[in-house]
Structure 1
Amino acid sequence: MIRSLVLLTVVSGCSALTALNDVSTPLDVYELRAPVDIQATTRRQLPRDVIIELPSTSGALATDRIMIRPNALQAQYLPEVRWSDATPVMVQTLMLRSVEATGAVRYVGRQPLASHGDFAVVTELVDFQAELNADTQTATVQLKLIVRVIRESDAKIVASKTFRASAPSASTETQILVEAFNAASTVLFSEFAGWLPSALSP
C-alpha cells in the first residue's frame, strides 16, 4: 500500500496540546488520501447511482482542526495545523474516493445525476480523534462511523453497519499523529467501500 499522507505546506515542529489558535495564524495543512487496494464484495459493476451525504457529527468534530483528547470528557486541538477540509467534508471525500476505487457502482457522488439517486449513504461520524495514553507521551487514534444505506424510492433503510478502526501513535508530534490517522482511516474506508456493494445488491 502506497503511503497516502500528504502535507500541503511545510511541517511545523513538535506539537504540544492547545486550544484553537488565533484564526489569523497561518496553519500547516494535512490531507488524508483514500485507499486504492480495496476488495469489494462483488466482481461486477452494479447499475446503481449512490449519493454519499455529508456526515453528521458533534460540534467538536465539525471543524478543520485535528482533535486530540487528553481524557474522555475533554477535546483539544493540535496547534498550528489543520485538515485540508472540515472533518465531515474530508470524511465524505474519503468515502467517495474509496467507493470509486472499487469500480463497483455505476455512479457515486455528492449530488445525484438526475432528480435523485438509487441509494443514499447517510452517516454519523462519532469518533475521529487521537486519545492520549496514560503515559501522555503516546496516543491512539480512534475512528468510528455509523453507516445507513437508504433506498431513495421508498426511504427504506436497506443496510446499516458501524465501522471502527484504531492505530497507535508512538508520539504526540504532529507528523507521527497524522500518520496514525492515515493508517486508521485506510482500514476504515477500505472496509466501508468493500462492504457497500453487498448492501446495494438485491
Structure 2
Amino acid sequence: MIRIFPGRLFALLAGALLGGCSALSQPETVDTYLLPGGHFASAAAPAGADGSLRVTRPKAAGGLEGTRIAVLPQPDRLSFYKGARWSDAVPVLLRDRLIEALRAGGGIARLSSDDDNLRADRELGGNLRAFQSEYQAGQPQVLIRFDAQLIDTRSRAILASRRFEVSQAVQGRAVPEVVEAFGRASDDLALQVSGWVLRAGE
C-alpha cells in the first residue's frame, strides 16, 4: 500500500491547481488587420472650390461599434471571427476611408474629421447598418450598408440623405481573404459617397 503524507498531498494538489490555472490563463492569439485599400487616384481641385466639410464617425450598433470582425453564418445570427480583429473601431475605419476618398476627389477645400474639433460649413455623418460578411449559398460575401446624411452645421438641417449599399464576393473562406473583400467593398462605397457629396455641394 502506498502512503501519502498530508504535506505531500497538499503539495500535489497545489501543483495541479497551479498547472490548471496556468493553462487557463494562456492569452488567446489575436491577429490585428488593417483595412486594405484606400489608394485613390488624386484629382486636381476644380477652380473656385471652396467650403469646408467635417466627416464624423457613423453611429453603429449591434456589435458593429467595436473592433471585432463580424460575420453572419445565418441570417438571424451575428457572430465574429475568432482570433481576428480590426486595427481600430469599425466606425473609425469607415470614416477615415471616406476622408481618403474625399481628399483624393479634390472638390473640397477644407476637410476635417470629428477628432479635429474644427468648424466646418457642412458635416457628413450617418448610420452604419451593416459591416459584415454574410453567407449566401454557402459562400461568404462582404456587405456594407451606410445611411449617409449631409448636414448644415449652422442650422443642423439635413441637406441631403441617401442609403449606400455595397456587396463584394470573398475569394475564399479564410479571414485574410475576407479582409481583402472588406477593403474592396469599403473603397467602392467611399467613392460612391464622395461623388454624392461633391454633387450635393454644387
Match of 2:144 in 1: 143
Distance of 1:93 and 1:176 partners within structure 2: 22
Contact 1:65 1:78 in 2 (8 A): yes
User: Which sections of structure 2, spanning at least 5 residues, go unmatched?
Assistant: 1-24
Equivalenced residue count is 177
| Segments ≥4 residues shifted beyond 4 Å | 112-115
What amino acid is the match of 1:90? L
* Alignment map for 1:109-128 (pairs within 5 Å): 109-111=112-114, 116-128=119-131
1:133 corresponds to which of 133, 136, 145: 136
Match of 1:14 in 2: none
Match of 1:48 in 2: 51
How far did 1:104 drift? 1.1
Cα 1:69–1:149 shift into 2, 3 Å: same
Distance of 1:57 and 1:112 partners within structure 2: 17
1:34 corresponds to which of 33, 38, 41: 38
The secondary structure found in structure 1 opposite 2:67 is coil
Match of 1:81 in 2: 84
Contact 1:149 1:157 in 2 (8 A): yes
**Which gives a bigger RCO, structure 1 or 2 (Cα 8 Å, sep 6+)?**
1
Match of 1:185 in 2: 186
More helix as a share of residues: 2
Question: What TM-score does the superposition give when structure 1 sets the normalisation length?
Answer: 0.79
Match of 2:61 in 1: 58
- Cα distance per residue 1:94-136 (max 9 Å; x no partner): 111111111110111114978631001121101110001232x
Distance of 2:135 and 2:96 partners within structure 1: 27
User: Which sections of structure 1, spanning at least 5 residues, go unmatched?
Assistant: 1-21
- Cα distance per residue 1:26-53 (max 9 Å; x no partner): 421211232403779x844631111111
| C-alpha RMSD of matched pairs (Å) | 2.4
Cα 1:188–1:44 shift into 2, 3 Å: farther
Cα 1:114–1:75 shift into 2, 3 Å: closer
- Cα distance per residue 1:158-201 (max 9 Å; x no partner): 11111111111132211111111112111111111122111122
Larger Rg: 2
What amino acid is the match of 1:56? K
Contact 2:57 2:114 in 1 (8 A): no
Distance of 1:90 and 1:48 partners within structure 2: 24
Contact 2:142 2:170 in 1 (8 A): yes
Question: What TM-score does the superposition give when structure 2 sets the normalisation length?
Answer: 0.79
